[in-house]
A and B are shown apart, each in its own frame.
Chain A
Amino acid sequence: GAGVSQTPSNKVTEKGKYVELRCDPISGHTALYWYRQSLGQGPEFLIYFQGTGAADDSGLPNDRFFAVRPEGSVSTLKIQRTERGDSAVYLCASSPTVSYNEQFFGPGTRLTVL
């Protein structure tokens, strides 16, 4: 079956602009996670959803970052007033339930802020 998909695969924007990154999880997966991976580093947790609600958003670096999952499937990560330090690969992962350990990762969106 289809895996986790993320769009766009690459996004180049200018400092100060607003961006939206989309994640389509595996069908039926109720848990959805966002991570950020900087060059040469491991993924760092941002937020996770159980269904429509954000169960843990403790990894969001500041209030410029926001994520939604209005219908419990697709999720959008939103970044306002982008800064050059936001440049990274943003990874999405899904899991059948939040109590099922394995997370299935998408290919990521590479965000470059000029």
Chain B
Amino acid sequence: QQQVKQSPQSLIVQKGGIPIINCAYENTAFDYFPWYQQFPGKGPALLIAIRPDVSEKKEGRFTISFNKSAKQFSLHIMDSQPGDSATYFCAASKVRNQFYFGTGTSLTVIP
């Protein structure tokens, strides 16, 4: 059973565009929602994370929007750059517990 569902599977945008990646979860006990960026041959690296008591968090060009009632959250990348081309994973967890990851979104930013 997939605890976190992620879409789309792949995304292609032009440089400067705003890719949006969406995730949905079922378990209302989750209280931490990170986004990880992974380059080929590397481990996932934390980009940004949010807790359910806020609806939006922004760090640099990355923004998480969180909708607690719909149990959905999304990642927006402003002014996307070719260097942002990577695979992005959403995840969810409870404190003192494992991460449940989405299936990943492969992003390609065309120069």
Contacts of B95 in A (CB 8 A): 99, 101
Of B13-21, B36-44, B54-62, B68-76, the one contacting chain A is B36-44
Select one of A40, A59, A107 contacting B104, CB under 8 A.
A40
Q: Are A56 and B97 in contact (CB under 8 A)?
A: yes
Give A93 to B89 CA distance when docked, in angstroms: 15
Instruction: Name which residue of chain A comes closest to B104, CB basis.
Output: A42
Does B43 lie within 8 Å of A103, measured CB to CB? no
Residue numbers in A under 8 Å from B41 (CB-CB): 107
Give the A interface residue count (CB, 8 A).
Answer: 25
B49-A105 in contact (CB<8A)? no
Partner of B44, one of A41, A43, A55: A43
> Which residues of the other chain, A, contact B32 by a CB distance below 8 angstroms?
101
The reply to whether A105 and B96 form a contact with Cβ atoms under 8 Å apart is no
Q: Contacting A43 at CB < 8 Å: which of B42, B46, B93, B101?
A: B101
Size of the chain B interface, CB-CB below 8 angstroms: 25
Q: In this complex, what residue of B is CB-closest to A110? A: B41
- Chain A residues with Cβ below 8 Å from B43 are 4, 91, 93, 105-108
Asked if residues A107 and B101 are in contact (CB atoms below 8 Å), the reply is no
Q: Is B7 an interface residue (CB 8 A)?
A: no
Which residues 79-103 in B have Cβ within 8 Å of A in the complex?
89, 91, 93, 95-103
* Docked pose: A91 CA to B34 CA in angstroms: 17
CB distance from A98 to the nearest CB of B (A): 5
Indicate whether B12 reaches chain A with its CB closer than 8 angstroms. Answer: no
Q: Which residues of A contact B6 (CB under 8 A)?
A: 42
Partner of B96, one of A41, A59, A98, A108: A98
Residue contact B34 to A45, C-beta cutoff 8 Å: no
In whole angstroms, how far apart are the Cα atoms of A93 and B101 in the complex? 14
**Chain B positions near chain A (C-beta within 8 angstroms):** 4, 6, 32, 34, 36, 41-46, 49, 89, 91, 93, 95-104
